[in-house]
Structure 1
């Protein structure tokens, strides 16, 4: 059903506002030349904005996709950026970049006057080591773009687990609704945290370490084998997915 027909039915009283909103959220597809079909209705449909995955795209394609997303939704999130792509976005949107983290290889571009929401509740991001911070920041930025307040505690892994106590107390006293726990190497920290807290924990394995640990396989398998209930796990280095899941949990908990 096209937009005009939808509006005619709404005006005639044959559709309720809720029904019209639901149908509109399913029609948000923006075809861009012959290389992209943008899901511009994703945020309205499920509360998670589309993220533009940069690897495999030319700088020109990436710029066009981000520009189209900004026009349609007010913002664009680009992840996995390489140096040439980063420079192309900086050149195209010099005054519209609101978040840019080279470590996390992620950038947020926003239309003038477009504000992100900040009413989704609080989540926490915990990393085992400093080397895990780039992936942890992907999760933090994604959750922030979905309206969460994000508390961070980095380099508190099991080699010195006493470092975890104070930041964990602070997070729990701040009505934190979900935790993302990021770890490479042996991947033990998410199980430890999950055994201590009354909120959902999302384990985020990273490709930090050496040998099998360097590919993240050991961390992933360790988290999947956890005996601590309440721990869910995303794929290796999937900070975007972990942040989105934590934000959805926080939103649902606040309803």
Structure 2
């Protein structure tokens, strides 16, 4: 579990946090409970044990992990089957493809990409003239720095060209591409605007033929994204484990 004061995944704290969630949500159960960042001070087996207790009480139905390492996922799944894994994944950042997605497929675990639109980049809302306000974390990510952004905008141009080809929006292309990767991938768009929500929902109407998907993937493979998604200090403080950096 993650709080404003840091990573706290002690079993007693997990159970206390769940009680608070149930009260605030006015419900008797949580369908899917995530450990959003790994707590290095608490063995993942202890976390799984706490979740198992909550499942036995009917308060939690399923559980998942976010930004964990491969060994953590294997140990967690062996202790208590994991339903879903969360990580950043999009055309902009494809880190999970090498090891995490194959492990999810092997173990029958669903995958939930967050930031599927590349924190707005893939919608075309960010260009060379964009300036990020103080407090916007994108200001600290080198993939969005002025030095790398001009290069990385080649990806946006590709997405826009496919939006024109399919007579849709760039956001829908980015989401439809994710949905086409695996049937057990379900993106979280995280929008706060109704217009964006409605646009995103229609991504399910965008279908790629086998040839189209092959062509799009080939074009994506030809674009090397420069810069990192997280400053090293932020990755350490947020508990992101090595395989997903």
Q: Compare relative contact order (CA 8 Å, sep 6+) and give the higher one, 1 or 2.
A: 2
Between structures 1 and 2, the one with greater helix share: 2
The higher radius of gyration belongs to 1
Asked if Structure 1 and Structure 2 have the same fold, meaning a TM-score greater than 0.5 normalized by the shorter chain, the answer is no
Between structures 1 and 2, the one with greater strand share: 1
TM-score, normalised with respect to structure 2:
0.34
TM-score, normalised with respect to structure 1:
0.33
